[in-house]
Amino acid sequence: MERREFLIRAGLALVAAPAVLSIAACGGGGGGSPAPAAGGDFTVTSTSVNSHTHDITVKAADLAAGVSVTYTSTVGGSIPHTHTVTLPPAIINDINAGKSDNVSSNPDATAHTHDWAIKKP
């Protein structure tokens, strides 16, 4: 490898590495498919906004109670922040009936929101 080629590759690695680490720190991936968790709980991933996603874990006990519940999701990375999403009784009833419902988070300090498609696995 020539010196010029080495310097170009090294420069590209220096540029790419922080971006990869930042995405990984935010939870990076997309999806929206519910993931099973303990005791009938399941985790849902939000839409990707500003190159990151948020997860919420819907608790089986909350679904059984049938009352309004609010979940909080926090990510770290270069801009740590938190979103909350509230599931009112009507949406909880839909989820219990096997339907899929779309919910949005509150806007945070950076004025963005995330959406989740919530359905029992």
Tell me the helix, strand and coil percentages in the chain, rounded to 5.
35, 30, 40
Per-residue pLDDT tens for 57-80?
Answer: 999 999 999 999 999 998 887 788
* Ordered alpha helix ranges (H), 1-121: 3-25, 60-65, 89-96
pLDDT of amino acid 70: 95
pTM greater than 0.95 (yes/no): no
With cut-offs at 50, 70 and 90, classify the pLDDT of residue 88: very high
pLDDT of amino acid 39: 72
Mean pLDDT of the chain: 77
CB 119 within 8 A of CB 87: no
